[in-house]
């Protein structure tokens, strides 16, 4: 028995209510205090064991099924973004400058919806379901998955499988999109300081012009993409900020560049970082400048979906009536769900919410991001069914 829409019917309104409540009171990364409190209270009301304050504001729930089986973890992130909402809905953000523009409010609501279905059917349930409510997905290297794992979220019991769902403003409403293998990129932020020797603009030969050197470095870095990395490997390097100088006739002492690298496997990633450093340093040296290259530590790994688990997940998602499941292309964005996938095989998947008829047209992170709330019950149902099916003993 897997669940269908008759199992979510009793909870549909509640899922939407929870989503709207969280949407109206969004909280930034590591400040998800009210959201975490709401999550803990809802889980307890379902007689699910709760541990709060896991890795910051994280909440872990554990539901024991009546039958023996696997431990399946389901994850939702809880943080909002520093964006001022530009959508006129009755539950519009009441906090200027803060908005659930990535849809993490829907993730919390859908996971609580899955918990409602699963806890009501605990007598039928195999194994155990672990609910991971994560703080701070949006913070880059300081994302909440790592402190949660360090606080033991992936132990006692150790999940055999882990699943995560993300709402997508680009996929059409009620479409599940996923792929086996690498799904989302590893992001690496770099800073390059080019140290020259300042002087008069009329006599560049007496100094070392860091502006000129910076320009050479920007151009040369594109050679890493086109000439140093295997063209069959997706790879992006972008210099997105350059700062130097104060006046038209003064050669400054230094220039600062910042940019991002995106890769899809750890080997290419290491090679790319090495090459960016080597190119910046040696191009600078050729022109008598010196480059200091730094990478931000602890950035998210590549999000890799386990091929076998994903294949089985696709067949489970395909059975959800009223939805479609498609294979999507890899995405250059990043996710710290990747850290959970390093601890247990699993799948990260998207649920489309783009619906022109309802004005749901903008992408995640837009101030006009609007979710088609009809999809929420399908999302909850998908999580409940993945937990139920993968909980069965192998």
Site for Zn ion in 281-310 (CB under 5 A): none
Please state the closest distance from residue 339 (CB atom) to Zn ion, in A.
Answer: 14
CB-wise, 102 or 317, nearer to Zn ion? Answer: 102
- Supply the minimum distance, in Å, between the C-beta of residue 261 and Zn ion: 19
Closest approach, Cβ 335 to Zn ion, in A, equals: 7
Q: How far is the CB of 337 from Zn ion (least distance, A)?
A: 9
List the one residue from 83, 102, 125, 177 that touches Zn ion (CB under 5 A). Answer: 102
The count of chain residues that interact with Zn ion, using the rule CB under 5 A, is 1
- Contact segment (CB under 5 A) with Zn ion among 65-73, 100-108, 302-310, 337-345 equals 100-108
Catalytic residue among 300, 349, 378, 388: 300
**388 flagged as catalytic:** no
HEC string of the chain equals: CCCCHHHHHHHHHHHHHHHHHHHHCCCECCCCHHHHHHHHHHHHHCCCEEEEEECCCEEEEEEECCEEEEEEEEEEECCEECCCCCCCCCCCCCCCCCECCCCHHHHHHHHHHHHHHHHHCCCCCEEEEEEEEECCCCCHHHCCHHHHHHCCCCCCCCCCEEEEEEEEEEEECCEEEECCEEEECEEEEEEEEEECECEECCCHHHCECHHHHHHHHHHHHHHHHHHHCCCCCCEEEEEEEEEECCCCCEECCEEEEEEEEEECCHHHHHHHHHHHHHHHHHHHHHCCCEEEEEECCCCCCCEEECHHHHHHHHHHHHCCCCCEEEECCCECCCCCHHHHHCCCCEEEEEEEEEEHHHCECCCCCCCCCCCCHHHHHHHHHHHHHHHHHHHCCC
Among the listed ranges 97-105, 193-201, 247-255, 261-269, the one in contact with Zn ion (CB under 5 A) is 97-105
Each residue 52-91 as x (binds Zn ion by CB under 5 A) or -, in order, gives: ----------------------------------------
> Is 292 among the catalytic positions?
no
Q: Annotated catalytic residue: which of 85, 254, 335, 373?
A: 373
Catalytic residues: 300, 373
Q: Which residues bind Zn ion (CB under 5 A)?
A: 102
């Amino acid at each position: 028995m897997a669940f269908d829409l008759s199992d979510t019917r009793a909870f549909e309104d509640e899922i939407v209510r929870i989503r709207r409540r969280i949407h109206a009171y969004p909280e930034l990364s590591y400040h998800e205090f009210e959201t975490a409190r709401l999550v803990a209270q809802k889980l307890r009301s379902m007689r699910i064991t709760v541990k709060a304050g896991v890795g910051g504001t994280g909440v872990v729930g554990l539901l024991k099924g009546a039958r023996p089986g696997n431990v399946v973890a389901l994850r939702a992130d809880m943080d909002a973004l520093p964006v001022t909402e530009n959508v006129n809905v009755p539950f519009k953000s009441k906090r200027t400058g803060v908005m659930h523009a990535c849809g993490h409010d829907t993730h919390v609501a859908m996971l609580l919806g899955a918990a409602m279905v699963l806890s009501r059917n605990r007598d039928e349930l195999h194994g155990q379901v672990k609910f991971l409510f994560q703080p701070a997905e949006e913070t880059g290297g300081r994302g909440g998955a790592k402190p949660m794992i360090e606080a033991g979220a992936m132990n006692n019991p150790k999940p055999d499988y882990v699943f995560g769902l993300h709402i997508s403003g680009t996929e059409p409403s009620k479409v599940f999109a996923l792929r086996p293998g690498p799904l989302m990129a590893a992001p690496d932020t770099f800073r390059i300081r080019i140290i020259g020797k300042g002087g008069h603009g009329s006599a560049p030969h007496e100094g070392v012009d860091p502006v000129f050197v910076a320009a050479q470095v920007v151009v040369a870095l594109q050679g890493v993409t086109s000439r140093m990395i295997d063209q069959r490997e997706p790879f992006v390097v972008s210099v997105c900020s350059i700062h130097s100088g104060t006046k038209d006739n003064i050669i400054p002492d230094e220039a600062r560049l910042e940019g991002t690298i995106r890769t899809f496997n750890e080997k290419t990633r290491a090679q790319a970082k090495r090459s960016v450093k080597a190119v910046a340093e040696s191009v600078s040296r050729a022109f008598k400048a010196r480059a200091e290259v730094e990478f931000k530590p602890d950035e998210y790994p590549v999000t890799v979906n386990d091929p076998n688990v994903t294949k089985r997940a696709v067949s489970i998602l395909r059975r959800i009536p009223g939805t479609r499941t498609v294979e999507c292309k890899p995405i250059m964005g990043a996710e710290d769900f990747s850290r959970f996938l390093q601890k247990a095989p699993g799948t990260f998947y998207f649920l489309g919410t783009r619906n022109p008829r309802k004005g749901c047209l903008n992408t995640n992170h837009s101030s006009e991001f609007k979710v088609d709330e009809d999809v929420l019950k399908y999302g909850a149902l998908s999580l409940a069914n993945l937990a139920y099916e993968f909980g069965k003993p192998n």
